[in-house]
Chain A
Amino acid sequence: MTTAIPNSYRTGPDETGHFGIFGGRFVAETLMPLILDLQKAYEDAKADPAFRKEMDGYLKAYVGRPSPLYLAERLTEHLGGAKIYLKREELNHTGSHKVNNVLGQIMVARRMGKKRIIAETGAGQHGVATATLCARFGLECIVYMGAVDVERQQPNVIRMEMLGAKVVPVQVGARTLKDAMNEAMRDWVTNVHNTFYCIGTVAGPHPYPMMVRDFQSIIGDETKVQMQEIEGRLPDSLIACIGGGSNAMGLFHPFLDDTSVDIYGVEAAGHGLTGLHAASIAGGRPGVLHGNRTYLLMDEDGQIQEGHSISAGLDYPGIGPEHSWLHSIGRVKYLSATDEEALAAFQLLSKLEGIIPALEPAHALAKVSELAPKLPKDHLMVVNLSGRGDKDVPQVGDILKGRQS
């Protein structure tokens, strides 16, 4: 695939919601009028200074932004190469980057007068963020979650319920994130008049990939300013894990036109790329699902395959369309890390820095362990620490215990 290199990498999508051949609006007719309303509501909100001001207020006092940019000295010393900075999204209220996007979408939903919010969640972080803001603004909240994920992410299920959300375990398919997204779409088609679908990543029909990216771009915007303050220059490389790709897009987007910056996205390689995995770019092809064209895991006949990852937040068989485009033009390099590599990185960061990461960003950390030692000591590398590992403590604890006995 070749796409003409534009003057800017930041101008997408076009007015029909496409990034090159990717993106678009592939949804049932019932939803189209609502999607067009949403697009208009979002554009109005973006142009309204009062909206930005109100959001900035909540980002500061409720979410706890800006999140710090922290030099991981012991990790840097241990790896013996690039200087590693962690963008501490795990310190946000609710424990991950997901809250940045949810705050934005809930404020748009309020402008549209919607009182019923639905969401899908894999690891539960997006569900927790949505439940939290629905509690804060007094909105009804329903979260669809694959029954398998309900099992492996119990702490987050309990949190959502405490926050007043209704968690609906989805019993079809592999009972993970993809199925939760289908179920959320079915609910949306049925209740389109009063319901706002709060999508958790940079995927879905236009305008979601753009809107979620815009809300997450605060991660990269802050990083730019913070790195200037600390080091007096831009970073040399950025790295983040990819499920749908929202934390990565949030860090990357403000830097896309800074071509001196190398950018890496890390997909979940599960048991390895020849086995069960969730690396849509490394192991998939362009196709159409969940409202957009993007890289997907599928068989010969175009039937969607299930992703697999140790991390419930990454085992989605697709990726946001803007990532597919950035891959096709070569601006971002997409790598992958296995379950085992992520587990090792999870332990390494916990022991060296006293920070227990979520299993998701542990995938990015796994590639840092590989890349950093080969880089010079003045190379500045930023890792998006997208979430904390509280939710994974029981699961990882069980795995490690199993290995000792």
Chain B
Amino acid sequence: MTTRIDTRFAELKAEGRSAFVTFVMAGDPDLATALEIVKALPKAGADIIELGMPFTDPMADGPSIQAAGLRALQAGMTLRKTLQLVRDFRKTDDKTPIVLMGYYNPIYIYGVDKFLPDAKEAGVDGLIIVDLPPEEDNELCIPAMKAGLNFIRLATPTTDDKRLPAVLANTSGFVYYVSVTGITGAAAADASVVGTAVARIKRHTKLPVCVGFGIRTPEAAKAIASHANGAVVGTALIDALKGSLDADGKATAKTVSAVADLTAALAAGVRGAKQAAE
């Protein structure tokens, strides 16, 4: 079956450019503002939206994303409301792929059997679950595939050629290459090193490869986008959001535009890159 993600990559291929993938946290700093932000992203140039599902214990995330999740939880965010946010977004946008990203426990507690149809119905296209390696594929990955949702796997610098086939086996939509060993918001990897890594992954799969972690500027996004099928930016957008909040951590009139403006600048960077070789 073809998902919104497949369709989007086919369109981008026809356009001859790589994808710009944005990460924002559902419910940060509050539900209403988060919906406005998500709605503003495609207009500002986001090709795919990763929406963080807030979790109390984001073990692989740096301080910015961790704080974003806690702000959302503080404002009353739940997994149910995250699905509602996607549903509301779909009222005005039926094209932009949405990938939920987060940790397994809230989904496990919601109930996998109930979550998958609810997510599909809400308009979710894919899942990235940081703490579900291929060794635990029976938990969610395989049921998600059956439910028509892409399960997007992370590959990392520690994923060697021997292990890559296992990582790629049940992956669909795209492969997310984490360019550094570390938490989100860490220092950026060298674009040429990333190029070598992407080429290595492409020897094992026909799927598009998007690269994230450590990309903060239009120049860096451009450099990565010329080596990969997509560049992912999260921490920089969340830092821009945080910078727009008032002293109590509440949204201001500048919050949505702070995220949208940076998105536009980064998207321009990505659009300036030649598409990576298939």
Interface of A toward B, CB cutoff 8 Å: 16, 24-34, 172-173, 178, 182, 185-186, 189-193, 285, 287-291, 296, 298, 300-304
Check B105 against A289 for contact (C-beta < 8 Å). Answer: yes
Question: Main SS of chain A's interface residues?
Answer: mixed
Check A29 against B106 for contact (C-beta < 8 Å). Answer: no
A25-B135, A27-B131, A28-B131 in contact; A178/B57 too (CB < 8 A)? Answer: yes
Q: Which of A32, A193, A289, A296 contacts B133 (CB 8 A)?
A: A32
B2 at the interface (CB under 8 A from A): no
- What residues of chain A lie closer than 8 Å to B182, measured between beta carbons? 30, 189-190
A193-B181, A287-B108, A302-B106 in contact; A28/B79 too (CB < 8 A)? Answer: no
Check B159 against A33 for contact (C-beta < 8 Å). Answer: yes
Check A302 against B136 for contact (C-beta < 8 Å). Answer: no
Look across to chain A and name the residue whose beta carbon is closest to the beta carbon of B82: A301
B130 at the interface (CB under 8 A from A): yes
Interface residue stretch chosen among B92-100, B148-156, B241-249: B148-156
Look across to chain A and name the residue whose beta carbon is closest to the beta carbon of B130: A28
Check A302 against B135 for contact (C-beta < 8 Å). Answer: no
- What residues of chain B lie closer than 8 Å to A301, measured between beta carbons? 78-80, 106, 109-110
Minimum CB–CB distance from A191 to chain B (whole Å) comes to 8
The 25 listed contacts between A and B (C-beta, < 8 Å) are A24-B136, A26-B131, A26-B132, A27-B59, A27-B131, A28-B60, A28-B131, A29-B158, A30-B158, A32-B133, A33-B158, A34-B158, A182-B57, A185-B60, A189-B59, A190-B186, A285-B109, A296-B105, A298-B105, A301-B106, A302-B105, A302-B107, A303-B73, A303-B106, A304-B56
Check A189 against B181 for contact (C-beta < 8 Å). Answer: yes
Q: Which of A173, A189, A191, A298 contacts B60 (CB 8 A)?
A: A189
Ranked nearest first, the 5 interchain pairs of A and B with the lowest CB-CB distance are A302-B109, A302-B106, A190-B182, A30-B156, A28-B60
Check B105 against A185 for contact (C-beta < 8 Å). Answer: no
Check B59 against A186 for contact (C-beta < 8 Å). Answer: yes
Minimum CB–CB distance from A171 to chain B (whole Å) comes to 10
Interface of B toward A, CB cutoff 8 Å: 55-63, 66, 73, 78-80, 103-110, 130-136, 153-160, 163, 167, 178, 181-183, 186
Given contacts A29-B154, A301-B80, A301-B106, 10 further A-B contacts (CB under 8 A): A16-B135, A24-B136, A26-B136, A193-B181, A298-B109, A300-B109, A302-B107, A303-B56, A303-B106, A304-B57
- What residues of chain A lie closer than 8 Å to B63, measured between beta carbons? 172
- What residues of chain A lie closer than 8 Å to B80, measured between beta carbons? 301
Check A288 against B108 for contact (C-beta < 8 Å). Answer: yes
- What residues of chain A lie closer than 8 Å to B104, measured between beta carbons? 26, 288
- What residues of chain B lie closer than 8 Å to A185, measured between beta carbons? 59-60
Check A29 against B167 for contact (C-beta < 8 Å). Answer: yes
Check A33 against B163 for contact (C-beta < 8 Å). Answer: yes
- What residues of chain A lie closer than 8 Å to B105, measured between beta carbons? 287-289, 296, 298, 302, 304
Question: Main SS of chain B's interface residues?
Answer: loop
State A192–B160 Cα separation when bound (angstroms). 14
State A373–B59 Cα separation when bound (angstroms). 46
- What residues of chain A lie closer than 8 Å to B107, measured between beta carbons? 302
Check B135 against A290 for contact (C-beta < 8 Å). Answer: no
- What residues of chain B lie closer than 8 Å to A285, measured between beta carbons? 109
- What residues of chain B lie closer than 8 Å to A33, measured between beta carbons? 158-160, 163
Q: Which of A25, A29, A288, A296 contacts B156 (CB 8 A)?
A: A29
State A16–B59 Cα separation when bound (angstroms). 22
Check A29 against B133 for contact (C-beta < 8 Å). Answer: yes
- What residues of chain A lie closer than 8 Å to B136, measured between beta carbons? 24-26
Minimum CB–CB distance from B118 to chain A (whole Å) comes to 14
Minimum CB–CB distance from B248 to chain A (whole Å) comes to 19
State A34–B157 Cα separation when bound (angstroms). 12
Q: Which of B78, B109, B163, B178 contacts A287 (CB 8 A)?
A: B109
A301-B78, A301-B109 in contact; A172/B156 too (CB < 8 A)? Answer: no
State A172–B135 Cα separation when bound (angstroms). 30
Minimum CB–CB distance from A229 to chain B (whole Å) comes to 44
Q: Which of A16, A192, A287, A302 contacts B181 (CB 8 A)?
A: A192
State A183–B72 Cα separation when bound (angstroms). 20
State A190–B110 Cα separation when bound (angstroms). 31
State A22–B160 Cα separation when bound (angstroms). 28
Q: For B58, B63, B103, B135, which residue has the most chain A Cβ atoms within 10 angstroms?
A: B135
- What residues of chain B lie closer than 8 Å to A32, measured between beta carbons? 133-135, 158-159, 163
- What residues of chain B lie closer than 8 Å to A189, measured between beta carbons? 59-60, 181-183
- What residues of chain B lie closer than 8 Å to A289, measured between beta carbons? 57, 105
State A191–B180 Cα separation when bound (angstroms). 10
Look across to chain B and name the residue whose beta carbon is closest to the beta carbon of A192: B181
State A172–B57 Cα separation when bound (angstroms). 10
State A224–B155 Cα separation when bound (angstroms). 48
State A230–B194 Cα separation when bound (angstroms). 66
Look across to chain B and name the residue whose beta carbon is closest to the beta carbon of A285: B109
Check A29 against B178 for contact (C-beta < 8 Å). Answer: yes
State A182–B62 Cα separation when bound (angstroms). 11
Q: For B60, B154, B157, B186, which residue has the most chain A Cβ atoms within 10 angstroms?
A: B60
- What residues of chain A lie closer than 8 Å to B78, measured between beta carbons? 300-301
Minimum CB–CB distance from A194 to chain B (whole Å) comes to 11
- What residues of chain A lie closer than 8 Å to B158, measured between beta carbons? 29-34, 192
Minimum CB–CB distance from B107 to chain A (whole Å) comes to 7
Q: Which of B110, B153, B163 contacts A302 (CB 8 A)?
A: B110
Check A291 against B56 for contact (C-beta < 8 Å). Answer: no
Check A303 against B55 for contact (C-beta < 8 Å). Answer: yes
Q: For B62, B63, B109, B156, which residue has the most chain A Cβ atoms within 10 angstroms?
A: B109
Minimum CB–CB distance from A33 to chain B (whole Å) comes to 5
- What residues of chain B lie closer than 8 Å to A302, measured between beta carbons? 55, 79, 105-110
Look across to chain B and name the residue whose beta carbon is closest to the beta carbon of A173: B56
Look across to chain A and name the residue whose beta carbon is closest to the beta carbon of B162: A33
- What residues of chain A lie closer than 8 Å to B163, measured between beta carbons? 32-33
